[in-house]
Amino acid sequence: MKIAIIGAGNVGACTASLLISRQVCKKVALIDINKNLATVKAIDLAQMVAALDLDIDVVGGDDYSLIKDYDIVVITAGFARREDQKREDLIATNAKIVASSAINIAKWAPNSIIVVVTNPLDIMVYVALKASKFSPLKVIGMAGELDSARLKYEIASKLGTSSAKCFAKCVGTHNNDMICLESSMKFEDKSIKDTFDPDEIEEIKQRTKNGGANIVKLMGTSAFYAPSAGVLKMCESIKNGDEKPLSCSVFSKFGEDEVAIGRLVKLDNNGIKEILELNLTQKEMKNFKDSIEKIIKIISYINI
């Protein structure tokens, strides 16, 4: 398998490092508008490969021909969120970057699966799909696995235990309207409703929603280790056809409208294998529908 990453910044480089360490693919390409950045990070990663005695090729540069016939292309390119910004503030600038990347991917890797990471995530999945003209099954956004990881972290922190003992999933949009699925929130296969009262559960949800903003506030830029791990999970699932559901932003039809929004899905080497039905409470369903209406309103102003 060959995996390319568009954007050699923090998320792109960390993703490449994880893919190499887990030996997910035989070839990795880093593409960036800053040729020197992509080239030197590719050299550094290639030397990491040498240190680990692995048989993996790493290349980097600004030439999209490097990704010719690659299997998966991850789009991380775009401006990161600053402390004074919402994810939605990045729409105009990042839409141009993602659209350009998607057009080049369609040219050089027409049979690939696109994984979008650039914010605002759900909008950028729509942009990548329209610009690439790919099948909706082959354009997938990474955010739900990041939000789910943050939810697991908050549950574990509240319990003072390992996150490996916790399970949780987030769906919906990758912003403060995300849905922390109460039915999924468990500790050692037991619902956290057996441990926490409603106010404590609401506190966990709110801390999850603020997780990204808190990192931006403390660090001055967006997170990169956890988002990279989310991409890794998706790439491994695409490669192995894992039956374990992942939370991903996928193109879905709602009445006459089509939008990208976080759902629980199964992936394989063709992209989206199955979109699972969500078991939502009445409140969660309202939140989900409201999020769809907001996305429809935003994409009506985007020209691709």
118 is in an annotated binding site: yes
Strand pairing class (166-167; 72-75)? unpaired
279 is in an annotated binding site: no
34 is in an annotated binding site: no
Report the alpha-carbon distance of residue 287 to residue 276 in Å, rounded: 18
207 is in an annotated binding site: no
87 is in an annotated binding site: yes
195 is in an annotated binding site: no
| CB count in 10 Å sphere of residue 240 | 13
Q: How far is CA 180 from the centre of its chain?
A: 16
Report the alpha-carbon distance of residue 252 to residue 137 in Å, rounded: 10
7 is in an annotated binding site: yes
Angle at 29 between CA 25 and CA 30, to 5 degrees: 130
Distances (CA, A) of 266 to 71, 239, 276, 285: 18, 12, 8, 21
- The answer to whether residues 134 and 103 touch, using CB atoms and an 8 Å cutoff, is no
Looking at 138, 152, 174, 186, which residue is catalytic?
A: 174
Q: Is 276 exposed, middle or buried (0-12, 13-18, 19+ CB in 10 A)?
A: exposed
82 is in an annotated binding site: no
8 is in an annotated binding site: yes
| CB count in 10 Å sphere of residue 140 | 26
212 is in an annotated binding site: no
DSSP for 91-105?
Answer: HHHHHHHHHHHHHHH
117 is in an annotated binding site: yes
Kindly report each contact of residues 157-166 with a partner whose C-beta sits within 8 Å and lies 24 or more positions away, as own/partner. Answer: 158/196, 158/200, 158/203, 158/204, 159/187, 159/195, 161/187
Structure-token match 């030996």, residue found: 23
263 is in an annotated binding site: no
32 is in an annotated binding site: yes
Of 163, 172, 269, 281, the closest CA to residue 226 belongs to 163
Among this protein's residues, is 169 annotated catalytic? no
74 is in an annotated binding site: no
Residues annotated within a binding site: 7-12, 32, 81, 87, 94, 117-119, 150
Residues annotated within a binding site for NAD(+): 7-12, 32, 94, 117-119
Please identify every residue annotated as catalytic.
174
